[in-house]
Amino acid sequence: MIRSVLVPLDGTPFAEHALPLAMSLARRSGATLQLLNVLTPIASLYAESPVFIDDQLEQRLRDRQVESQEQYLDQVVRRIEAVSPVKTEKLFDDGEVASTIRAQAIHCKSDLIVMSTHGRGPIGRFWLGSVADELMREAPVPVLLIRPTEEKVDLTREPPLKHIMVPLDGTELSEQILPDAVALGRFLDADYTLVRVVHSIALPTPTGEAGLVATQVEAMIDQIDTMQKQLVNEARAYLERKAAPMRDAGLKVASRVDVADQPAAALVHDATSPAIDLVAMETHARHGLARLFFGSVADKVIHDSHVAVLLHHHQPTTAA
C-alpha cells in the first residue's frame, strides 16, 4: 500500500523529472505527494569565500535562502495543482542531503522515495548522483530512480511504465523485491518478466598428447553442454515457481533465462529492450571492500541503462 510518496527536489529541472511518475503513482494510489527540499548550510556554501560572514549576515543569508526555496516549492505545488488532484505536502530541512532524506522518510512515514539519478543544484553542488548512490543502500523504504532527460518536464504526461523486469538470482534476498514490485505494478497496471542469469561454463584447456586432444575436447563439449542445459532448466523451473503465485493473483508474468559470463552486462542488455520500462531489484547493500571486491549488479543497471529502477535493500532485524 502506498500512502505517501517522497520526492526530493533541489530546484533544478533535472530533479523535477521525478515528478510525473510520482504524481501518477500518488493519483492512482490516493497517496500524498511529499515535496522535500534540503537546504545547504550557509557555512558550506561560503567555506572557500574570502568574504567574512558574521552571525548577523549569516542569518540574513539563511532567511533569504529559506524564502527562495519556499517560493520554489510554492511554484512547484501550483504547477501540480493546475494539472492534477493529488494532495501535496511541502517539507524543508537542512543537513547532509542523503541522511536528511532518509530521516525525513522515517519521520514522515513515507512509503516510497521517487527521485532523479543525477543533476546539479544551486552553487554547483551535486545532489542526485552520490545521493542516490547512498540512498540505494541506506533508505528505509524502496527508492524509485528516474533517469532525467534534456527535455522539458511535462507534468501532464504520465510515463508509460507498463512492463517491469525483475532480476532474481535464486536467493531469498533477491526475492525480497517481489512484494514492492507487485505493489507498484498493480498501480501501473504493468506486466512482469522474471529474469535469472546463469554463468556460462567455460571449456577447460585439454592436456596430453596431440592425438588425444580432439577426443578430450569432443567429450568435454558434450559434458559441458549437458551441464549448461541442466543449469538453464533449473533456473527456468525456479522462475516458474516464483511466477506461479503472481499468476494466481491475476498478474501477467513471463520468465527468461540468460546464459552469460557477466550477469550485470546481461541484465543491462535485457533492460535496453523496448519492452522493458522499469527494472525492480533487491540490492546487497555492500559497503567498503566487500562492495569493491564483489561489485554491484544494481550499480551497473542504474549507470548503464536508461530505464527507471526500483531498488530495495534488506533491513536487518534489530534484536529486542
Residue pLDDT, tens place only, 32-83:
999 999 876 655 555 555 455 567 766 777 778 778 888 999 999 999 999 9
Decide if pLDDT at 225 tops 50.
Answer: yes
- Residue 253, judged by CB atoms within 10 A of its CB (0-12, 13-18, 19+), counts as buried
Domain 160-320 class in CATH: alpha beta
> How far is residue 66 from each of residues 89, 174, 252, measured CA to CA in Å?
16, 42, 48
> Which cell numbers hold the place of 118?
543525477
Reduce the DSSP state of residue 196 to 3 states and report it: strand
> What mean pLDDT do residues 157-173 have?
90
Sheet containing 112-116: order of strands:
87-94, 32-39, 4-8, 112-116, 143-146, 308-313, 278-283, 163-167, 191-199, 253-260
The CATH architecture of the domain made up of 1-158 is 3-Layer(aba) Sandwich (3.40)
**pLDDT confidence of residue 319:** 43
d(CA 286, CA 281): 15
- Crossing angle of the two packed helices 130-138 and 297-304, in degrees rounded to 10: 140
**pLDDT confidence of residue 80:** 96
**pLDDT confidence of residue 191:** 96
Instruction: Provide CATH 3.40.50.620 ranges for the chain.
Output: 1-158, 160-320
Decide if pLDDT at 296 tops 70.
Answer: no
Of the given ranges (155-164, 242-251, 284-293), which has the lowest mean pLDDT?
Answer: 284-293
8 Å CB contact between 202 and 270: no
What is the value of pTM for the model shown?
0.83
Decide if pLDDT at 118 tops 70.
Answer: no
Strand locations in 177-246, DSSP E? 191-199
